[in-house]
């Protein structure tokens, strides 16, 4: 893999993408491309390929996702497109461009009944459609590009957007 110069951050308007945009100026050696879903439909393979070719992307940090856990049951097509199809498209395109993909996933890929912390070797068993789509996205990303890095996280919180921490603070005041 060549030296990383151009970094694409998908989901630019979400919590993770917004936090990365705050941090980016601290890394002037990199050119960051922050793409919102309006600027780049990562669920459209052709759009992904065109964006990578036009911008010579060396690394993609996929912060984009369908995150409305409860609504995923009703909006299955949108959840599947963002969480399952898109990571596969990004991974395949990264492989074509010899680029690194860092993909964010969730602990919802597990059953949630373990008394010990989960690790990457533990069996997956999603309890809802959201978790199923995120697991399918992990699989697609890893199958399409074996250098993909998958980061599973539980709570995402930041100063941007809606999140659990902000909700609890609001309810306590």
Q: Residue 172's pLDDT is what?
A: 76
Residue with tokens 């308007």: 13
Longest dimension (CA), the chain: 51
Alpha carbons 66 and 69: distance in angstroms, whole number: 8
Active site residue 118: no
pLDDT of residue 52: 98
What's the pLDDT at 150?
97
Q: Could you say which of 66, 108, 130, 157 is catalytic? A: 130
Place of tokens 């309810």: 171
pLDDT for 17 equals 94
d(CA 87, CA 42): 8
Check if the beta carbon of residue 94 is closer than 8 Å to that of residue 6: no
Tokens 């599947």 belong to: 80
| DSSP bridge pairs for 93 | none
Q: What is the pLDDT of residue 79?
A: 97
**Averaged pLDDT score across all residues of the chain:** 91
Residue 154: per-residue pLDDT: 79
Write down the pLDDT at residue 163. 55
Residues of the chain with pLDDT under 70: 1-2, 155-170
**Rg of the chain's alpha carbons, rounded to an integer?**
16
Cα dihedral value 37, 62, 71, 132, nearest 10: 140
């Amino acid at each position: 893999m060549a030296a990383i110069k151009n970094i694409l951050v998908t989901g630019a308007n979400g919590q993770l993408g917004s936090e990365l945009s705050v941090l980016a100026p601290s890394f002037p050696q990199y050119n960051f491309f922050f793409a919102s879903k309006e600027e780049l439909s990562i669920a459209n393979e052709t759009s992904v390929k065109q964006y990578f070719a036009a911008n010579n992307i060396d690394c993609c940090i996929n912060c984009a996702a369908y995150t409305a856990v409860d609504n995923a049951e009703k909006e299955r097509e949108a959840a599947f497109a963002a969480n399952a199809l898109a990571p596969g498209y990004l991974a395949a395109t990264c492989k074509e461009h010899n680029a690194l993909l860092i993909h964010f996933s969730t602990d919802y890929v597990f059953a949630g009944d373990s008394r010990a912390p989960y690790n990457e070797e533990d069996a997956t068993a999603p309890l809802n459609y959201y978790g199923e789509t995120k697991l399918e996205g992990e699989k697609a990303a890893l199958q399409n590009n074996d250098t993909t890095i998958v980061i599973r996280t539980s709570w995402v919180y930041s100063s941007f957007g809606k999140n659990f921490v902000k909700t609890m603070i609001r309810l306590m005041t």
